[in-house]
């Protein structure tokens, strides 16, 4: 039983479900959508674009505070697990749905697999960090995307028998998307020219939940947009906060900043791929820009994906105006670090490895599967 609840989950679930569907002699698969992200722009358009089958079960929990949302997911998912009796619950990423469903399954005695295990920001003010640590502590199979995850889990005392270094399923989706980008007309629709614009995605509470932080963000976006056109697909939650704090008008007044509704996965990948730079606070986008070789400025003080900084195109800039200005200047002059795509299993076959491991674990010969490099 696969669980997905929010936009980042869908990108990870898509290649897994495609791969597991090839092994129906072993796996009977089902998909539970918790409804953490529930509207078309944040959910339905991703199911369409990533060719994910319709969910078998939809919990329809909607948007609430962390405690209420987690509780609603647990109450609903417990009924699903008791009724359907899955052998394994597979959760991905680090959202509330991930932790809530892992906790329910573990308490009932159902095995749990966590895809994207071991990532750590070491920042306990991030809800996602709590979700990661709790989920990993409950999981029977921990599928790791980068080597820092192996080190973190070893330090935390997780048995090596549970841990499997399989690579990054986000890159599986990105490689898949690369074959379909010709369908995207997003540059024409937004009147953009390749490499003559930057992309903005900011939605984390530390950046958008307070008046003071949003004021800083607006000042930074004005600074950057004085040098290059910016396109900002607004997360619904960010839009609510901008309205709440009276900042939406300040952004719409910036002549070189273009606000849009959330984009489909293919359109957003196309937008990133052809951009000059990306300004973000998203974890997944740090990985995607590294794979696409696009300069990324992450407006956070830490990252749970250090490989994107060590090997990739990512630089942590926080809300340091001077550092951001310096980085943007260097990028536009062509002096920014180009980075390299991590060679450690960022090859589009992570989902295949996960399926192969689980075939073996349930006692079925998987020798016919291609060996991982």
Q: What is the pLDDT of residues 47-75, one digit of tens each?
A: 888 889 899 999 988 878 889 999 999 99
Q: Write the pLDDT tens digit of every residue in 126-143.
A: 999 999 999 999 999 999
57 - beta bridge partners? 32
b/e burial code for range 301-339 (CB count within 10 A of at least 16 → b): eebbbbbbbebbbbbbbbbeeeebbebbeebeeeebeeb
31 φ/ψ angles, rounded to the nearest 5 degrees = -125, 125
Active site residue 203: yes
- The answer to whether residues 207 and 301 touch, using CB atoms and an 8 Å cutoff, is no
User: What pLDDT score does 209 carry?
Assistant: 87
Indicate if 150 and 229 belong to the same structural domain. no
Least confidently predicted of 33-47, 95-109, 173-187: 33-47
**8 found inside a domain:** yes
Radius of gyration, alpha carbons of the chain = 20
Question: Of 80, 2, 119, nearest to 354 (Cα)?
Answer: 2
**314 DSSP β-pair partners:** 296
Global pTM value:
0.92
pLDDT digits (tens, 9 = 90+) for 234-253: 988 889 899 999 999 999 99
Same-domain status, 323 and 353: no
Joined tokens for residue 369: 């599967």
**Residue 352 sits in the same domain as residue 296:** no
Listing DSSP states for 195-215 in one string gives TSEEEEE---HHHHSSHHHHH
In whole angstroms, what is the distance from residue 353 CA to residue 291 CA? 19
Q: Tell me, what's the pLDDT at 204?
A: 87
232 beta partners: 259
**Ranges 144-148, 211-215, 277-281: which has the least confidence:** 211-215
pLDDT tens digits, one per residue of 1-16: 999 988 889 999 999 9
What's the pLDDT score for residue 42?
Answer: 53
pLDDT at 43: 64
Q: Do 162 and 191 belong together in one domain?
A: no
Note whether residue 42 is domain-resident. yes
* pLDDT digits 0-9 by tens, 36-52: 765 545 567 878 888 89
pLDDT band at 221 (very low <50, low <70, confident <90, very high): very high
Q: Calculate mean pLDDT across residues 31-39.
A: 79
Domain count, the chain: 2
What is the C-alpha separation between 59 and 50, in angstroms, rounded?
21
Residues 59 and 149 in one domain: yes
Check if the beta carbon of residue 279 is closer than 8 Å to that of residue 297: yes
Percent of the chain with pLDDT over 70: 95
Query: What's the gap between Cα 163 and its chain centre?
Result: 21
**pLDDT attached to residue 361:** 84
What pLDDT does residue 14 have? 95
331-363 pLDDT tens trace: 999 999 989 998 889 999 999 999 999 998 865
What's residue 205's pLDDT?
A: 86
Catalytic residue among 114, 164, 203, 245: 203
The pLDDT, as a whole number, for residue 37 is: 61
Tokens coding 210: 């307070």
**DSSP assignment string, 287-326:** HHHHHHT--EEE-SS--S-THHHHTSSEEE-TT-HHHHHH
Same-domain status, 13 and 133: yes
Residues 328 and 349 both lie in one domain: no
Q: What is the CATH classification number for the domain harbouring 322?
A: 3.40.50.2000
144 pLDDT above the threshold of 50: yes
Residue ranges making up the domain that contains 107:
2-167+345-361
Pairwise CA distance, residues 173 & 185, whole Å:
19
Decide the pairing of beta strands 141-144 and 2-4. Answer: unpaired
């Amino acid at each position: 039983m696969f669980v997905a609840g929010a936009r980042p989950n869908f990108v990870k679930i898509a290649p897994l479900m495609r791969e597991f569907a090839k092994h129906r002699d072993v796996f009977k698969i089902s998909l539970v959508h918790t409804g953490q992200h529930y509207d078309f722009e944040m959910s339905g358009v991703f199911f369409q674009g990533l060719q994910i089958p319709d969910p078998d079960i939809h919990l329809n929990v909607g948007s609430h505070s962390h405690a209420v949302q987690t509780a609603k997911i647990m109450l609903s998912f417990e009924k699903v697990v008791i009724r359907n009796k899955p052998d394994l619950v597979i959760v991905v990423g680090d959202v509330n749905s991930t932790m809530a469903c892992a906790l329910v399954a573990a308490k009932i005695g159902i095995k749990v697999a966590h895809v994207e295990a071991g990532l750590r920001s070491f920042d306990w003010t991030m809800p996602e960090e709590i979700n990661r640590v709790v989920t990993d502590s409950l999981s029977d199979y921990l599928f790791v995307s980068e080597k820092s995850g192996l080190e973190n889990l070893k330090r935390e005392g997780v048995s090596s028998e549970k841990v499997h270094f399989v690579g990054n399923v986000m890159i599986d989706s990105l490689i898949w998307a690369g074959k379909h980008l010709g369908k995207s007309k997003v540059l024409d629709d937004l009147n953009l020219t390749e490499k003559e614009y930057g992309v903005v995605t900011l939605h984390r509470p530390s950046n958008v939940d307070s008046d003071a932080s949003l004021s800083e963000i607006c000042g930074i976006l004005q600074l950057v947009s004085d040098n290059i056109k910016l396109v900002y697909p607004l997360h619904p939650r960010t839009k609510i906060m901008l309205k709440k704090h009276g900042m939406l008008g300040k952004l719409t007044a910036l002549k070189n900043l273009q606000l849009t509704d959330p984009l489909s996965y293919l359109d957003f990948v196309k937008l990133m791929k052809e951009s000059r730079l990306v300004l973000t606070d998203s974890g997944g986008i740090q990985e995607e820009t590294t794979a696409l070789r696009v300069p990324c400025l992450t407006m956070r003080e830490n990252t749970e994906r250090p490989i994107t900084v060590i090997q990739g195109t990512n630089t942590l800039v926080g809300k340091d105006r001077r550092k951001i200005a310096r980085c943007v200047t260097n990028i536009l002059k062509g002096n920014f670090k180009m980075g390299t795509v991590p060679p450690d299993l960022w090859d589009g076959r992570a989902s295949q490895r996960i399926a192969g491991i689980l075939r073996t674990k349930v006692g079925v010969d998987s020798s016919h599967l291609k060996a991982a490099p």
